[in-house]
Structure 1
Amino acid sequence: MSPRHRLVALLVVVLWGLNFLAIRYGLDYFPPLFLGALRFLVLALPVLLFVRPPKGPVTWLLLYGLGSGTFQFGLLFTAMHIGMPTGLASLVLQSSAPFTVLLGAILLHEKLAVRQIAGIGIAVVGMGLIIADRADAAAGVGVLGVVLTLLGGLSWAFGNIGQRLAAPSEPFRFTLWMSVIPPLPMLALSAAFEGPATGWRALAHSLDGAEGRLALLGVAYIAILSTVVGYGLWGALMARYPASTVAPATLLVPVVGIAASAVVLGEHPTALALTGAAIVIAGCLLGMLRRPAPLPVGDEGDRPGGQLDVAVADDLGERGAQGGAAVVRQG
């Protein structure tokens, strides 16, 4: 990548890493399931009015919306609500990468390379260290938070399979229309588990105090900066460069998330948790990359480069949470 495009990639990484702070501020005021519905409603309404629907089967759009939207964010937000640290949440959600590889092999019969299998194994070891660290939390809430976040990563992986099967000709339009799917089921879940009026009452009084206004800013950040701006810039990079050149930058997202939560929220992961985080990132990186093919002489942006497994490329294209839509999907 050119120096200018490296800066663009770094900007996207920062936007997506800070997205977890925005989620935390939203959860400090809104119930988690209602926050998830609100996060998508902000996008769904203008999308319904101004963006024409994508071409292709509705079935795969539903799978993408329910997996990458409803269940991913419902589980992630609930995990963070019950005590999952913000920085570690950004890291554990990286489990979607190996989950996507495994689902691609099981459901789509994609062949696994030895390096990918080794990467998954290494990532599992890292996750085990994080779970062991969180097991010290009171009343088992720490482990439950990790499990819910892992299930969120698995849900995200199912959503990736939906987009993989849809193979949309206009990925960004497809991702925007994904936001139309989650609001109704998330509002129904919120009414069932959080109370039919709890979230709406909080929204009605959100401008009355600083906490509510900060939560609204968090929702705006998630919907506009993380989704529209982040995915838009990421899609432009993915259109210009090989996935294997761009996608590894997403491994910096949890680094930003952990650092930002330490500085802003005062979260300080233990040495064991940080060791587990480093092992997870190393495993994901090993599983992502393949031995590069010989490069022809030509412009850097047009070289084919080493190729990512398509399922992993799908997963890492939309990193965020919460959260570049040109491949797939961050908070």
Structure 2
Amino acid sequence: MTAADRRSLVAFAATSIFFGGTFVAAKAGLAYFPPLLFVALRFDVAAVALLGYAAVTTPRTDLLPRTRRDAAGILATGVLAIGLTNALLFVGQEYTTSAAAAIVFSLNPILTPVFAAFLLADERLSLRGVLGMALGFVGVALVVDPDPSTLLGGGVGQAILFAGAVSGALGSVLIRRAGDGLSSTVRTAWGLPFAAVLCHLLSLAVGESPAAVEWTPTAMAALGYVGLLAGAVAYIAYFGLLDDAGAIRANLVFYAVPVVAALGGWMLLGETISAVAVAGFVTIFTGFLVLGSESADLPTQRGRITRLGGIDPTGAVDPPDVVDEPRGFEAD
């Protein structure tokens, strides 16, 4: 396993854990905050924390966007991948159950390859990749075990959640398309204020009032979690993973999030995990193995090396550092 692989694995785990806890914290916080204002305040907290972190850890010459691609990446991050996605998620959850929300939002990894096929030249999904995606989606359905009548009758809530999944998938692909002129941390730090402003405007537009907020210890704890851990820290991990592993693989975290949420409820809240949910865990893991086996496939690796110029006319292969960190998700 290369250093890039280890870094991606740590980022995947951190993102899954912190995003998984968002559902519990959001459920607690929505009892005290109007939904859009809750999201806006979350981004206020995350923006202050991440801008401060970026200012301390990044050289000044690397803090400012310099090209149109940098600006496009910031807008895709703040408006689509963070702002609109989370606004639609929090509002949609008011009209449907958490289980149904998890199912609809798990369409994100399925939608990502669709946008990538049109917008990215280096990310494609083969038949084996499609199988892995399908297994992951089935596993999510087993873990959350939704009521079929709720799924079929979700109406407005599910339409809002689906729009959120589309926004997240499109945003992640556009970020990859914009390139890596800025580090993921700096790009996210600049994107969060745009997300905060967007959600504050949406909150005002629908008539939410700051006076409706109940500032209890539980409300503060929920806001602190979604703003700092599931906000600043998780976004550093997720958008770093997006740069390292590509949009298709990075968005597989949305298959792992329901697993983390279920395990967290079992450990912290005494909730039970059914045999069907355990079967879901296994199915999701199997889907990951299918996707992982594709990246280890010999013809795939050979094709990657050839496209990166790692083979010269004599057949000699360049040193490992030439191909140590493949960008994106290639398929055979």
| TM-score (normalizing by structure 1) | 0.68
Decide whether aligned partners of structure 1 residues 48 and 7 sit closer, same or farther in structure 2, where only a CA change above 3 A counts. Answer: closer
Larger Rg: 2
> Residue 128 of structure 2: which of 115, 124, 130 is its match?
115
Decide whether aligned partners of structure 1 residues 24 and 306 sit closer, same or farther in structure 2, where only a CA change above 3 A counts. Answer: same
The reply on whether 1:54 has 2:57 as its aligned counterpart is: no
Across the two proteins, how many residue pairs are aligned to each other? Answer: 296
> Residue 106 of structure 1: which of 96, 115, 118 is its match?
118
Q: Distance in 2 between matches of 1:69 and 1:235?
A: 11
The range that moved more, 230-239 or 252-261, is 230-239
> Residue 153 of structure 1: which of 141, 144, 165 is its match?
165
Decide whether aligned partners of structure 1 residues 111 and 232 sit closer, same or farther in structure 2, where only a CA change above 3 A counts. Answer: closer
Letter in 2 for 1:97: P
The reply on whether 1:84 has 2:88 as its aligned counterpart is: no
Deviations 1:167-209 (A, max 9, x none): 123111101211111222212222232x242xx1134x41xxx
Q: Distance in 2 between matches of 1:144 and 1:267?
A: 29
The reply on whether 1:38 has 2:50 as its aligned counterpart is: no
Q: How far off its partner does 1:89 sit?
A: 4.4
Q: Which residue of 1 aligns with 2:184?
A: 171
The range that moved more, 256-265 or 5-14, is 5-14
Q: Which residue of 2 aligns with 1:309?
A: 329
Letter in 2 for 1:22: A
Q: Which residue of 1 aligns with 2:78?
A: 65
The reply on whether 1:202 has 2:180 as its aligned counterpart is: no
Decide whether aligned partners of structure 1 residues 55 and 100 sit closer, same or farther in structure 2, where only a CA change above 3 A counts. Answer: farther
Q: Distance in 2 between matches of 1:18 and 1:132?
A: 19
Query: 5+ residue gaps in structure 1?
Result: 207-211, 312-331
Q: Residues 288 and 309 of structure 1 are in contact (CA less than 8 Å); yes or no, is this contact kept in structure 2?
A: no
Q: Residues 124 and 329 of structure 2 are in contact (CA less than 8 Å); yes or no, is this contact kept in structure 1?
A: no
1:121-270 counterparts in 2 under 5 A?
A: 121-122=134-135, 133-137=146-150, 140-141=153-154, 145-169=157-181, 170-193=183-206, 195-197=207-209, 200-203=210-213, 205-206=214-215, 212-232=216-236, 250=253, 251-264=255-268
Decide whether aligned partners of structure 1 residues 91 and 259 sit closer, same or farther in structure 2, where only a CA change above 3 A counts. Answer: farther
Q: How far off its partner does 1:140 sit?
A: 2.9
Deviations 1:43-96 (A, max 9, x none): 33466677444343223422332211222101211232334226x645653432
RMSD of the TM alignment (CA)?
A: 4.5
Letter in 2 for 1:96: N
Letter in 2 for 1:309: F
The reply on whether 1:21 has 2:42 as its aligned counterpart is: no
Q: Distance in 2 between matches of 1:266 and 1:38?
A: 30
The range that moved more, 88-97 or 150-159, is 88-97
Identity of aligned residues (%): 25
- 3-state SS of the aligned residue for 2:107? helix
Decide whether aligned partners of structure 1 residues 97 and 238 sit closer, same or farther in structure 2, where only a CA change above 3 A counts. Answer: closer
Letter in 2 for 1:81: E
Query: 5+ residue gaps in structure 2?
Result: 56-62, 306-316
Letter in 1 for 2:329: D
Deviations 1:212-252 (A, max 9, x none): 3212212211221233334446778899x8779x9699454
Q: Residues 91 and 277 of structure 1 are in contact (CA less than 8 Å); yes or no, is this contact kept in structure 2?
A: no
Q: Distance in 2 between matches of 1:183 and 1:162?
A: 20
| TM-score (normalizing by structure 2) | 0.68
Q: How far off its partner does 1:147 sit?
A: 4.6
Q: How far off its partner does 1:166 sit?
A: 1.5
Q: How far off its partner does 1:144 sit?
A: 5.2
Q: Distance in 1 between matches of 2:237 and 2:295?
A: 27
- 3-state SS of the aligned residue for 1:218? helix
Decide whether aligned partners of structure 1 residues 288 and 8 sit closer, same or farther in structure 2, where only a CA change above 3 A counts. Answer: closer
Q: Residues 46 and 231 of structure 2 are in contact (CA less than 8 Å); yes or no, is this contact kept in structure 1?
A: no
The reply on whether 1:74 has 2:87 as its aligned counterpart is: yes
- 3-state SS of the aligned residue for 2:67? coil
Decide whether aligned partners of structure 1 residues 189 and 150 sit closer, same or farther in structure 2, where only a CA change above 3 A counts. Answer: same
Q: Which residue of 1 aligns with 2:312?
A: none
Q: Which residue of 1 aligns with 2:109?
A: 97
Letter in 2 for 1:225: L
Letter in 1 for 2:128: R
Q: Residues 241 and 250 of structure 2 are in contact (CA less than 8 Å); yes or no, is this contact kept in structure 1?
A: no
Decide whether aligned partners of structure 1 residues 129 and 35 sit closer, same or farther in structure 2, where only a CA change above 3 A counts. Answer: same
